[in-house]
Amino acid sequence: MNGDHQSGLTVPVRTSQNWQLSTEELAHYRTEGYLIRPAVFNASETEALRCGAERAVQVAHQLAETGSNYYLDGKRFTDNGYVTIQFEHESAASNTIRVIEPVDHLDPSLTALATDPRITVPMQQIIGTEQIAVWTNKLNTKRPGGGSGFGWHQDSPYWIHDCQHVDLLPNVMFAFDDATEANGCLQVIRRSHLQGCLPGTDDGTQLGGFYTSPACFSPDDAVSMCAPAGSLIFFDPHCIHGSAPNQSNLPRRAMVLTYQPAGHPTLKSRQIRNLA
């Protein structure tokens, strides 16, 4: 880790209804590719959202019972309609959910989170338009004691074949739990977004092409997105990011929400979900 950049730019907890990014915050996002806003949601709000996330996991288990299973590099995936459920990697028969995408429609609290002005107002500024729409969102469960990590990757190579405006698909991660290096917090490669869409690895695996070629970046530029529960972490679609496994006895659940200019369909359902 590069200690000079370990914590990123953070801002004080806000109490007003104005959730716009400051000039300094927006400049940091544009330059570095990420921005941390700590503890934007209070403890009671965050606890209610944790409960909503766990309800969504239970719904996803029900969907998996009637879904279509398939395996990529020996890892289990299940599709039910336009919902994709990924399972943990300890075995091909794992029944521990790792990722659900999309997830916001599986519980009303998550539906409300996707339209919360604390998220959408900064997204309007980042995208540069007053009208925005949902692109996709996903829940990462990152269970204690071995919730698997994510290799270094960009989001843009996943999306470039489904979208003509991949530069305008910013992400925001909501932290349900305190995020630390011990429980596998998000890490980003600072300023990697300035290189645009980068080539993937060529290791002969089914999923290898979605992981960024190690020749394109240095791990020395990694920044740990350590933040308390209720925080928001904004990051660019071209930003190289990943995480280590959760080796702690605490969860590191997070929801990543991605937005786009209004009038375009979502990634998976192909519905247009403009936000008021």
- By CB neighbour count within 10 A (0-12 exposed, 13-18 middle, 19+ buried), where does 196 fall? exposed
In the predicted model, is pLDDT for residue 77 greater than 80? Answer: yes
Determine contact, residues 249/142, Cβ cutoff 8 Å.
no
Tens of pLDDT, residue by residue over 227-271, are: 999 999 999 999 999 999 999 999 999 999 999 999 999 999 999
Q: Percentage of the chain surpassing pLDDT 70? A: 93
Task: Put the strands of the sheet holding 150-153 in their side by side order.
Answer: 150-153, 241-243, 186-189, 222-224
In the predicted model, is pLDDT for residue 12 greater than 50? Answer: no
Tens of pLDDT, residue by residue over 176-196, are: 999 999 999 999 999 999 999
Q: CA 69 to CA 79: how far, in whole Å? A: 7
Nearest to 274 by CA among 103, 106, 131: 131
pLDDT band at 272 (very low <50, low <70, confident <90, very high): very high
Q: CA 54 to CA 59: how far, in whole Å? A: 9
Question: What is the pLDDT of the chain when averaged over all its residues?
Answer: 93
Report the pLDDT value the prediction gives residue 62, as an integer from 0 to 100: 98
Report the pLDDT value the prediction gives residue 90, as an integer from 0 to 100: 75
Report the pLDDT value the prediction gives residue 17, as an integer from 0 to 100: 64
Q: What is the mean pLDDT of residues 140-147?
A: 93
Report the pLDDT value the prediction gives residue 89, as an integer from 0 to 100: 82
Q: Give the residue extent of every domain in the chain.
A: 3-41+102-261
Q: What is the mean pLDDT of residues 85-101?
A: 88
* Beta carbons within 8 Å of 89's beta carbon, 6+ residues apart: 75, 98, 148
Fold designation for 3-41+102-261: Jelly Rolls (2.60.120)
Q: What is the mean pLDDT of residues 132-141?
A: 98
